[in-house]
Amino acid sequence: MTFREKSALASLMAIGLVYGGYALSLGAGPLSGPQVLARMIGAIAALTAVMIVAHVAIVVEARPEKLDERDRAVMWRSARNGYVAVTLGLWAIPFLAILPVSRLFVANTALAIMMLAELVNQASRLFYYRRGLTG
């Protein structure tokens, strides 16, 4: 597995672990706005810490290779997939804003959409590296 494949896999695992834990913590019981905000900020800080540790470990184990045309094509296509996911997902926000739901629900939905888009980006990257580019 190349450095970039390991990076994508580590990102997928970190996002799933941290934001999965965040989502489970929200279901633990009724929370106030400040409590949800504190957990949201905590999840972002935890994701940052996990990603730093994971990528330092990957760099120590395998140095990044120089970018070539294939790497650039994989990154472009993966980013496109992530942007499509976030664009489509964020169309839900105006509709949620006119429904009788809390602002916390709208904020958590926006965060979930952004995390889903990043999962799409990283999963696409891993897929393109493992299966090759087509089309």
Give the pLDDT confidence of 75-134 residue by residue, as tens digits.
999 999 999 999 999 999 999 989 999 888 888 899 999 999 999 999 999 999 988 776
Q: CA 118, CA 7: separation in Å to the nearest integer?
A: 13
pLDDT tens profile 22-54? 988 888 778 888 888 899 899 999 999 999 999
| Contact call for residues 21 and 43 (beta carbons, < 8 A) | yes
Contacts with 25 (C-beta within 8 Å, 6 or more apart), sequence order = 39
Residue in the structure block whose two tokens are 């990257």: 125
How much is the pLDDT for 134?
60
Query: Cα 85–30–15 angle (5° rounding)?
Result: 30
